[in-house]
Amino acid sequence: MNQPQSWEARAEEYSLYGFTDMPSVHQRGTVVLTHGEGPYVIDVHGRRYLDANSGLWNMVAGFDHKGLIEAAQAQYARFPGYHAFFGRMSDQTVMLSEKLVEVSPFSSGKVFYTNSGSEANDTMVKMLWFLHAQEGKPQKRKILTRWNAYHGVTAVSASMTGKPYNSVFGLPLPGFLHLTCPHYWRFGEKDETEEQFVQRLARELEDTIAREGADTIAGFFAEPVMGAGGVIPPAKGYFQAILPILRKHDIPMISDEVICGFGRTGQTWGCQTYDYMPDAIISSKNLTAGFFPMGAVILGEALAKRVDAAVEAIEEFPHGFTASGHPVGCAIALKAIDVVMNEGLADNVNRLAPRFEAGLKRLAQKPNIGEYRGIGFMWALEAVRDKATKTPFEGTLSVSERIANACTGMGLICRPLGQSVVLCPPFILTEAQMDEMFEKLEKALDKVFAEVA
Ligand SMILES: *Cc1c(COP(=O)(O)O)cnc(C)c1O
């Protein structure tokens, strides 16, 4: 192997990048990281970056949490791996399922494990297909989601994701239907109130169910706050308007809490923040504070009973991953839940959320910021060419990429998403670190807006 010299060149030579704007990489190089300290990551040159994206939303306890590292080390020493097939599973798996049901909004329920959020959504879809077929409705298979939703990248979860880039794969698969994104600022019509907007979306759901037939629709999936769609909290009253329609037609409602779960929105679950009761919850990312790849399907009481009956009828649920319910992942998740809920991390989110919002509100006074939006510790600023008409910048200008690149140059990591910049720092962030984030972000905004004016 003829090895090029720099870390950056070696990365580009041999690694295929996913979800990466390649012109940005060619221009600024790859950031090759060696370790982390609290909410900071450090690269091969010793440069420090405040990671205002918690890695990928998931490193909520920062990058060097002692307790989590010790929990992993202890479990590796005790029992470093096992599966959950054939009626065997580790004691850690037993304890985590109990814990997840205990902290869920359900009075009881059941948990199934995967290695990722995509697989958890995929598993949930298969479970619904299986359930409806066993209940005599094999044609009840269509899946409803929303435009701009992000549910993952496997063939099924990418079909649920409502992003145009999936067309390069010939996705979505047939039978995956997308409804209007509940983003009032962007999709509300002229002179339409927020309440009228929500009523229009509820009517769209009713019309879709009437057109397709309730007996052809397996389930409705939604993130409480859309994450990778650009941090989009639901329009006011959205879930209250659509839940009764789904109930009326026996369409299970699945809350994809891969980002919102475990404190990101200020409460344990996003469905609690937005006051609705789903039939099942999808968890991943923060479940292990990013210290282990793991996802979980948490079925509420009613759905768990129905799935149990369907499994008993054919004596087996023929599904599972080799590492489902991995003992090290489960031990880390147990510790992560304890750390977030009992070591003051969730409290810190609630304590600093108003300060977070105040900082963004101030930045949003700039003429080229159209909207700031979010809740808890997940926020976005959306850039616009014209504030009054909400006209976006020309796509060719890559404004959000430029802002993020300018931030990276100053030692701040934030994520460009469409015309927005996303901020979702670890829950351990201090006031001083929040000030550092805003200072650097403001400098980057001023620099880029001056360039593209
Ligand atoms: C990240 C994400 C997923 C996919 O999880 P992976 O672990 O990347 O497969 C699913 N749903 C939501 C809401 C996510 O943010």
- Cis amide prior to 252 (ω within 30 degrees): no
Domain 69-342 has CATH 3.30.70.260: no
Spacing, Cα 156 to ligand 1 middle (Å): 13
| DSSP annotation of 327 | H
Contacts 24+ apart (CB under 8 A), 341-345: 341/103, 341/262, 341/263, 341/268, 343/67, 345/60, 345/61, 345/263, 345/427, 345/428
Q: Delimit the domains of the chain by residue range.
A: 31-64+344-452, 69-342
Contacts 24+ apart (CB under 8 A), 357-365: 359/434, 359/438, 360/423, 363/438, 363/441, 363/442, 363/445
- Which residue's CA lies nearest to atom 11 of ligand 1? 151
Spacing, Cα 401 to ligand 1 middle (Å): 22
Ligand 1, residues 59, 113, 285: which to mutate, most atoms within 8 A of Cβ? 285
Spacing, Cα 283 to ligand 1 middle (Å): 9
Q: Does the beta carbon of 399 lie inside 6 Å of ligand 1?
A: no
Retrieve residue 194's tokens: 């927020």
Within 10 A of 77 (CB to CB), how many other CB atoms are there?
A: 8
Which residues 6+ apart lie within 8 Å of 438 measured at CB? 359, 363
**Is residue 34 helix, strand or coil?**
strand
246: phi then psi, degrees, rounded to nearest 5: -65, -45
Q: How far apart are CA 99 and CA 91, in angstroms?
A: 12
Retrieve residue 283's tokens: 């968890």
CA of residue 267 relative to chain centroid, distance: 15
- Residue whose pair of structure tokens reads 């344990």 in the numeric block: 268
Q: How far apart are CA 110 and CA 301, in angstroms?
A: 8
- What fold characterizes domain 31-64+344-452? Aspartate Aminotransferase, domain 1 (3.90.1150)
The ligand 1 atom at the shortest distance from the C-alpha of residue 256 is 13
372: phi then psi, degrees, rounded to nearest 5: -115, 145
Q: Does the beta carbon of 287 lie inside 6 Å of ligand 1?
A: no
Tens-of-pLDDT digits for all 453 residues of the chain? 555 689 999 999 999 999 998 988 888 889 999 999 999 999 999 999 999 999 999 999 999 999 999 999 999 999 999 999 999 999 999 999 999 999 999 999 999 999 999 999 999 999 999 999 999 999 999 999 999 999 999 999 999 999 999 999 999 999 999 999 999 999 999 999 999 999 999 999 999 999 999 999 999 999 999 999 999 999 999 999 999 999 999 999 999 999 999 999 999 999 999 999 999 999 999 999 999 999 999 999 999 999 999 999 999 999 999 999 999 999 999 999 999 999 999 999 999 999 999 999 999 999 999 999 999 999 999 999 999 999 999 999 999 999 999 999 999 999 999 999 999 999 999 999 999 999 999 999 999 999 998
Q: Does the beta carbon of 227 lie inside 6 Å of ligand 1?
A: yes
The DSSP bridge partners found for residue 416 are 421
Spacing, Cα 290 to ligand 1 middle (Å): 12
Q: Does the beta carbon of 172 lie inside 6 Å of ligand 1?
A: no
Q: Does the beta carbon of 257 lie inside 6 Å of ligand 1?
A: no
Q: How far apart are CA 255 and CA 124, in angstroms?
A: 11
Q: How far apart are CA 65 and CA 335, in angstroms?
A: 11
Q: How far apart are CA 106 and CA 415, in angstroms?
A: 34
The ligand 1 atom at the shortest distance from the C-alpha of residue 295 is 7
